[in-house]
Amino acid sequence: MNRRRRIYEGKAKILYEGPEPGTLIQHFKDDATAFNNQKHEVIDGKGVLNNRISEYIFTNLNNLGIPTHFVRRLNMREQLIREVDVIPIELVVRNVAAGSLTKRLGVEEGTQLPRSIIEFYYKNDELGDPLVSEEHITAFGWATPQELDDMMAMGIRINDFLSGLFMGVGIRLVDFKIELGRLIEGDMMRIVLADEISPDSCRLWDTKTNDKMDKDRFRQNMGGMVEAYQEVARRLGILIEND
Ligand code: C5P
């Protein structure tokens, strides 16, 4: 068996050493976790779907000139990516009130927000990924003011692209989370989109029925998670072949 060097194992993905310096292999597991790992299950087929959906989105973003770490999909569960220095911030863009926003501020779920809202969370499991401000990010040196500007501009562009993409197939993009990293190219350093974009990291509601087509089905014990992810893939016209 091919013994690859494992660089990092997270809740839903494993990173292995890549075939060339500066590359990694991102492996999508079937594990679903929520509430900072307090709820954990293995959902057959989830990794395959997220690998394929994330490939589709990252390829489109690359084609639009939004730089990402994605190089190409290798097989059903793995993709080749560029190695980046991950910024320890999760950037959330919200269009409709849901999730932690509704709990924190008492806004009713489903309320259309007057404009898209960007939030930042400090990636730290021990602290439960706390909400932080731009001031915290620059004061603690997690990103420079210029990097923060680039991150927010990317978040807005990605929101515009994804909102349109999903609207075209009858899905409302409620919110999503992205992670960003620094990529060094010669003597240039730039911010690129990293990690994944999938129904694990977005809230997606059917525009007609408001049915949830995302990880909230798992968080809220609704069942039908894989079926919902399959429906997202089907509407995007993505074929899940057996390779
Ligand atoms: O829980 P909350 O409402 O803050 O989540 C906002 C968005 O970010 C949701 O789409 C959720 O799926 C995503 N998220 C994520 N990973 C986290 C926290 C939130 O993908 N650790």
> Tell me: the pLDDT tens digits for 77-130?
999 999 999 999 999 999 999 999 999 999 999 999 999 999 999 999 999 999
User: Whole-prediction pTM value?
Assistant: 0.97
Question: Using CA positions, which residue lies closest to atom 8 of ligand 1?
Answer: 177
119 DSSP β-pair partners = 92
The span from the CA of 160 to the CA of 28, in Å, is: 26
Whether the ipTM is more than 0.90: the answer is yes
Q: How many CB atoms lie within 10 A of CB 237?
A: 8
Of ligand 1's atoms, which has the minimum distance to the CA of residue 99?
3
- Does ligand 1 have an atom closer than 6 angstroms to the CB of 216? no
| Cα–Cα–Cα angle for 206, 192, 164, rounded to 5 degrees | 25
Separation of CA 197 and ligand 1 centre (Å): 11
The span from the CA of 143 to the CA of 113, in Å, is: 27
Separation of CA 19 and ligand 1 centre (Å): 32
